[in-house]
Amino acid sequence: MLKIKNLHVEADGKKIINGLNLNIVDGEIAVVMGPNGVGKSTICKTIMGDQNYKITKGSINYNGVDLLEKRTDEIALLGVFLLMQNPVSIPGVTNAEMLRVASGERGINESIFEFNKRLNEATLKLDIDKSYIHHNINEFMSGGEKKKNEMLQIEILKPGLILLDELDSGLDIDSLKILATRLYNYSKENKASILIITHHVNILEYLQPDKVYVLEDGKIQAEGDLSLAKKIEKLGFKGAFNGCE
Which of 127, 142, 226 has its CA nearest to residue 178?
Answer: 127
Considering only residues 71, 130, 188, 234, which one is a binding residue for other proteins as defined by CB under 8 A? 71
> Could you tell me the end-to-end alpha-carbon distance of the chain, in angstroms, rounded to an integer?
24
- Please choose, out of 65-73, 112-120, 165-173, 194-202, the segment that lies near other proteins by the rule CB under 8 A: 65-73
Task: Give backbone dihedrals phi and psi of 44, rounded to 5 degrees, phi first.
Answer: -60, -50
Query: For residues 157 and 226, which CB has a smaller minimum distance to other proteins in the complex?
Result: 157
On whether the CB atoms of residues 197 and 164 are closer than 8 A, the answer is yes
* Near other proteins by CB under 8 A: residue from 84, 183, 204, 228: 84
* 153, 175, 187, 198: residue in contact with other proteins (rule CB under 8 A): 153
Q: Is 55 in the site for other proteins (CB under 8 A)?
A: no
Report helix, strand or coil for 33.
strand
> Which one of 20, 82, 195, 222 is in contact with other proteins (CB under 8 A)?
82
Minimum CB separation from other proteins for residue 76, in Å?
Answer: 4
- The correct pick among 11, 68, 102, 141 for binding other proteins (CB under 8 A) is 102
CA 158 to chain centroid, in Å, comes to 13
Regarding 87 and contact with other proteins (CB under 8 A), the answer is: yes
90 binds other proteins (CB under 8 A): yes
Q: Which 3 state secondary structure label does DSSP give 36?
A: coil
Instruction: Name the one range near other proteins by CB under 8 A: 24-32, 91-99, 123-131, 206-214.
Output: 91-99
Q: Which of 55, 98, 226, 244 binds other proteins (CB under 8 A)?
A: 98
Q: How far apart (Å, rounded) are the C-alpha atoms in residues 83 and 153?
A: 10
The answer to whether residue 141 forms part of the interface with other proteins (CB under 8 A) is: no
Residue 243 found at the interface with other proteins (CB under 8 A): no
In the bound complex, what is the minimum distance in angstroms from residue 23's beta carbon to other proteins? Answer: 23
- Residue 157 as a binder of other proteins (CB under 8 A): the answer is yes
Distance CA 8, CA 6 (A): 7
CB 72 within 8 A of CB 48: yes
DSSP helix/strand/coil, 133: helix
Q: Find the shortest distance in angstroms from Cβ 232 to other proteins.
A: 29
What DSSP letter does each residue of 138-200 carry, written as one string?
A: TTT--HHHHHHHHHHHHHHH--SEEEEESTTTT--HHHHHHHHHHHHHHHHHHT-EEEEEES-
> Rule CB under 8 A: which of 14-43 touch other proteins?
none
Q: What is the pairing mode between strands 29-33 and 211-216?
A: parallel
Name the residues that contact other proteins, by CB under 8 A: 48, 50, 71-73, 75-77, 81-82, 84, 87-88, 90-93, 97-99, 101-102, 105-106, 136-137, 153, 157
